[in-house]
Structure 1
Amino acid sequence: MDIHEYQAKEVLSGFGVTVPDGALAYSPEQAAYRASELGGERWVVKAQVHAGGRGKAGGVKVCKTDTEIYEACENMFGMKLVTHQTGPEGKGVYRVYVETAVLIANEIYLGFVLDRTTQRVMIVASAEGGMEIEEISADKPDSIVRAVVEPAVGLREFQCRQIAFKLGVEAALVPQMVRTMKGCYRAFTELDATMVEINPLVITEDHRVIALDAKMTFDDNALFRHPQIAELRDKSQEDPRESRAADRGLNYVGLDGNIGCIVNGAGLAMATMDTIKLAGGEPANFLDIGGGATPERVAKAFRLVLSDKKVQAILVNIFAGINRCDWVAEGVVQALKEVEVDVPVIVRLAGTNVEQGQKILARSGLPIIRAATLQEAAERAVGAWKNDLAQGVNMRAAL
């Protein structure tokens, strides 16, 4: 789960990270009033969306007067901010963060991520702050400093000092850098985060170390331990299909293809998508219905997949261990009777009670295409999609 910049700053400030004074606003008038409350001579107005690259897309403006703040917000509110991270559809702007501007002497990149290779928290830092880490890695790879944290002892001060000196931070500011890094690490570990990123972490002209921007991502599976973090979720920034799936206990990721997938188990779902690709098709989604594939759960999965208008065929691939094939078959039949399904449905069942499941599908009288293997199911799904597509072209030609 991602959270907004202002939320990440509030979280990090609770762990000792210094952030600029700022306030949230939901209208141009409120933004101008927030600036007057903050005081100062210059302010930065930032669109709050779950994406980087906001400045290049017009989502960050430096303002000197109330009028400039009002005009900047007039342009931001309601717009679809399109960056390299949002895709062409962009993300809607419904709130802005007004912050007092600071005089910057240096910019630093600082990130904490979970490194799957070492199974440790890795610190990634660079003196070339203000740039995306991908750009830094491509253009100036030698500037990147990495350090792995041993979980048995946690982040030690000597590691923080080593990183600070490698970044060229002057000795007088090292204690502030140590406090910032240790605060980020504590937030990362105590709140089950998967990423903490400050870009840029700035050294101001008055010799302060301040987090000018912040991003945090959290492990969805651990949110039950942190209700205060779960409350920060903003569904307006999420794919509505993925949001609906999460609310129903389904693991769903929308893709750009046209063959919908309903599968139990993440590994099997990945294999199903690969097999569809090998057969010449494109998966429309990743959908793992999990271990408890009851008829009701399968019906919910059908409704979710069909909410994607690009879907032109549905492949159900179930390997029943904890599940039962007869339950899944009942769910498929129930879904096809309750939901208007106007695309081919291909079902492959294997495992517990597979014979009973096949009989339920056969007795239903519904136009269900059955398959014995994953390869056969993928080939039949792609064939059915292409056949329907060809029929549609012929009908349009005849008209």
Structure 2
Amino acid sequence: MAFILRRSSFLLADIASKSSPKVLASGCQKRHLNVQEHVSYSFLNEAGIPTPKFGVATSGAEAKKIATDLNTKNLVLKAQVLAGGRGKGSFKNGLKGGVRVVFSPQEAEDISGKMINQLLVTKQTGAAGRICNSVMVAERKFPRREFYFAVMMERAFNVAKKVGLDDKVEETALMLLNMYDLFVKKDALLIEINPYAEDAAETYFALDAKMRFDDNAEFRQKDLFAKRDLSQEDKKEVEASKFDLNYIALDGSIGCLVNGAGLAMATMDIIKLHGGDPANFLDVGGGASVKAVKEAFKIITSDPKVHAILVNIFGGIMRCDVIAEGIIQATKELNIKMPIIVRLQGTNVNEAKELIKKSKLRILPKDDLDEAAMLSVHLAQIVHLAREAHLD
């Protein structure tokens, strides 16, 4: 069973009997921090929400000690990788499953030793996989019933009854209130418990949890953000964030540099419309400097799949001449040989066009977005053929 509490002026009414607090919250931010499952477990425990007993191991020997201390023959090993589908995933060394049941400390040592420092491939990681730096060793529970709870955005009433917990109204109310307190205290965007399980003794536990936190709250959540596992994040995305660039790697061959998420999505759609595939989503925002634009080009050109670059800027706060200067400097310093197609409109566009013209670099200006996208697709195809023939 599933139930979602959505954060937005909702009442936890009808869960607790007499005092149902009204909760107000502001809108969701775009950026977010994801933390490993063991961190989520720790936060749930701090909030008074029970989980199985657990420990975190970075070696087989540590896993064996934790398993011994847990003093049970039923254990679960969970690869600490920020990706879904761990249970059905496989490690590149041949080990099947990122979630494994074991029955002794020795088995915990043997299996975890094959997980730690290995790449786990799931349907979410893609073929490259993601490194497993640690394993969570937890006591195994045997759920009789399972439920799903999350704090997100919207209204929710009669929660306990709707998920079939009529006989546990007070207990469910306390758990949900604790979830929400944690949500607010940690500046969360999402707190998800899946499953929240009941065993044969009618005891409830959170058996799995996911949490996401607002990057804009980093200044007041320093301890939380110290738990960020950069090994689980794309290196180019991490580098982009240092310059306030929003970068997401994709699988295509046309690099995109755009200001504004909406314009970036529209640009990628037009590339697809004309038969191409974007290599990335890269939003430089409204206040990018020349240095940030140069860094954006460095990130785009570091992807060997990129065969052409399309720049699409609508200058409002973002000045077109700043973008042009960044493009020119990046082209010179990085010795960029691939085609660069530039479509600029808005603030200081004439100055930007003049800068590009005077640079005498092979930067191709286009005023029409359709034409710019079509040219990008065609040139990317030509570069691809040239590289295949080793003509580059």
TM-score normalised according to structure 1 size:
0.83
Q: Does 1:168 align with 2:164?
A: yes
Contact 1:176–1:209 (CA under 8 A) maintained in structure 2 = no
The answer (yes or no) to whether the contact 2:183–2:189 under 8 Å persists in 1 is yes
User: What is residue 348 of structure 1 aligned with on the other side?
Assistant: 343
The answer to whether the 8 A contact 2:102-2:108 is kept is: yes
- State the distance in 1 between where 2:142 and 2:369 align: 60
Deviation at 1:346, TM superposition (A): 0.8
Instruction: Assess, with a 3 A threshold, how the Cα gap between structure 1 residues 101 and 227 changes in structure 2: closer, same or farther.
Output: same
Q: Give the corresponding residue for 2:48.
A: 16
Q: Which residue of 2 aligns with 1:55?
A: 87
Q: How far off is 1:170 after superposition?
A: 6.1
State the partner residue of 1:94: 133
CA contact (8 A) 2:192 2:209 kept: yes
How well do the aligned residues superpose, as a CA RMSD in angstroms?
1.9
Whole-Å Cα distance in 2 between the matches of residues 96 and 360 of structure 1? 54
Q: Aligned match of 1:26 in 58, 66, 71?
A: 58
Q: 1:104 aligns with which of 135, 143, 163?
A: 143
Aligned residue in 2 for 1:36: 68
CA distance in 2, matches of 1:389, 1:41: 56
Deviations 1:69-101 (A, max 9, x none): 111112212332222332232221110111122
User: Contact 2:67/2:104 (CA < 8 Å) preserved in 1?
Assistant: no
Q: Is the 8 A contact 1:177 1:209 kept in 2?
A: no
CA distance in 1 between partners of 2:273 and 2:102 (Å): 53
Q: Deviations 1:360-392 (Å, cap 9, x if unpaired)?
A: 111111111111122221122112212323444
- 2:301 matches 1:315: no
CA distance in 1 between partners of 2:53 and 2:212 (Å)? 23
Question: Contact conserved, 1:361 with 1:368, CA < 8 A, in 2?
Answer: yes
**Mapping of residues 299-378 of structure 1, within 5 Å:** 299-378=294-373
Q: What aligned pairs does 1:218-237 form with structure 2 within 5 A after superposition?
A: 218-237=213-232
- Contact 2:343–2:372 under 8 Å retained in 1: yes
Q: Which residue of 1 aligns with 2:287?
A: 292
2:109 is matched with which residue?
A: 70
2:120 alignment counterpart: 81
Gap runs ≥5 in structure 2: 1-32, 90-96
Asked if the contact 2:44/2:179 (under 8 Å) is kept, the reply is yes
- Aligned-pair identity (%): 42
User: Which stretch shifts more, 189-198 or 367-376?
Assistant: 189-198
Contact kept? 2:255, 2:308, Cα under 8 Å:
yes
1:181 aligns to what?
Answer: 176
**Residue 263 of structure 1 is aligned with which of 258, 263, 266?**
258
Task: Write the letter of the residue equivalent to 1:43.
Answer: L
In structure 1, how many angstroms separate the alpha carbons of the residues matched to 2:217 and 2:280?
Answer: 24
**Distance in 2 between the 1:326 and 1:345 partners?**
16
Cα deviation per residue 1:148-178 (whole Å; 9 max; x = unaligned)? 24xxxxxxxxx4xx3333333362x433322
In the aligned structure 1, how far is the partner of 2:220 from the partner of 2:376? 41
Question: For 2:111 and 2:248, how far apart are their aligned partners in 1?
Answer: 34
Between the aligned partners of 1:264 and 1:305, the Cα distance in structure 2 is 15
Measured in 2, the distance between the counterparts of 1:27 and 1:260 equals 40
Distance 1:40 1:297, change over 3 A: same
Q: Which has the higher contact order (CA 8 A, sep 6+)?
A: 2
Tell me the SS of whatever aligns to 2:34.
coil
Could you say which residue in structure 2 is the equivalent of 1:128? none
- Supply the distance in 2 between the matched residues of 1:272 and 1:222 (Cα, whole angstroms): 30
Higher deviation after alignment, 228-237 or 185-194 = 185-194
Range that drifts further, 294-303 or 76-85:
76-85
Shift of 1:246: 1.4
What secondary structure does 1:280 align onto?
A: coil
Cα distance change on mapping 1:48 and 1:168 into 2, 3 Å? same
Is this contact kept in 2: 1:348–1:374, CA < 8 A? yes
> Does the CA contact (< 8 Å) of 2:119 and 2:129 recur in 1?
yes
Q: Which runs of 5+ in 1 are unaligned?
A: 115-119, 121-147, 150-158
Aligned counterparts of 1:47 and 1:67: Cα–Cα separation in 2: 17
Instruction: Give the AA of the match of 1:36.
Output: T
What is the TM-score with the length of structure 2 in the denominator?
0.85
Is 1:6 the counterpart of 2:6? The answer is no
Q: In 2, are the aligned partners of 1:18 and 1:180 still within 8 Å (CA)?
A: no
Alpha-carbon distance between aligned partners in 2 of 1:315 and 1:55, rounded to the nearest angstrom: 40
CA displacement at 1:60 relative to structure 2:
1.5
